[in-house]
Structure 1
């Protein structure tokens, strides 16, 4: 297995960056305008996806790092009126 050093990785990143800049500079103004519009639509949708998923990410991070949050979550699950069969199926028994 080939392992790349940090210098090799930086070289690859710099090469890709310069290739992308060259590609961008070779596009016409109309093509650049179209790509900017497409990029703005994509990033707008990504922003909404991040905003909608952020609370779940925060809860997951807290659950992984603070044991009290995990025990609270387990107490909350056990206090819900979920049939024992379903809890067992989900692995909470």
Structure 2
């Protein structure tokens, strides 16, 4: 199996950067402004996606690093007024 060295990977990345810069410089001002608008819309949506998912990410990190968070979660689910048959089916009983 052929593996690329770090120098080869860096040269590939440099080539891609140079090609993108050449592509960008060959675009007209109108095309550049349209692409900038599209990029700003995409990044705006990504920002909202990150903001909306951040609380779940924090909870997941806490759940992975602190065992008491997970046990509290299990106690909370077990204490909810859910019918016993459903709790048994979900494994919380």
One fold, TM greater than 0.5?
A: yes
Query: TM-score, length-normalised on structure 1?
Result: 0.85
Counterpart check, 1:49 vs 2:49: yes
Aligned match of 1:83: 83
Aligned mates of 1:87, 1:5 — CA distance in 2: 54
Please report the RMSD computed on the Cα atoms of aligned residues, expressed in angstroms: 1.7
**What is the distance in 1 between the residues matched to 2:6 and 2:91?**
43
- 1:17-56 correspondence to structure 2 within 5 Å: 17-56=17-56
**CA offset at residue 59 of structure 1?**
0.2
Q: Which moved more, 1:69-78 or 1:4-13?
A: 4-13
Pick 1 or 2: higher relative contact order, CA cutoff 8 A, min separation 6: 2
What TM-score, normalized by structure 2, do the two folds share? Answer: 0.85
Q: For residue 88 of structure 1, report the CA deviation from its aligned partner.
A: 3.5
When structure 1 is superposed on structure 2, of 79-88 and 38-47 the one drifting more is 79-88
Equivalence for 2:62:
62
Deviations 1:58-79 (A, max 9, x none): 0001101111111111111111
Return the index of the structure with the highest Cα Rg.
Answer: 2
Give unpaired runs (5+ residues) of structure 1.
Answer: none
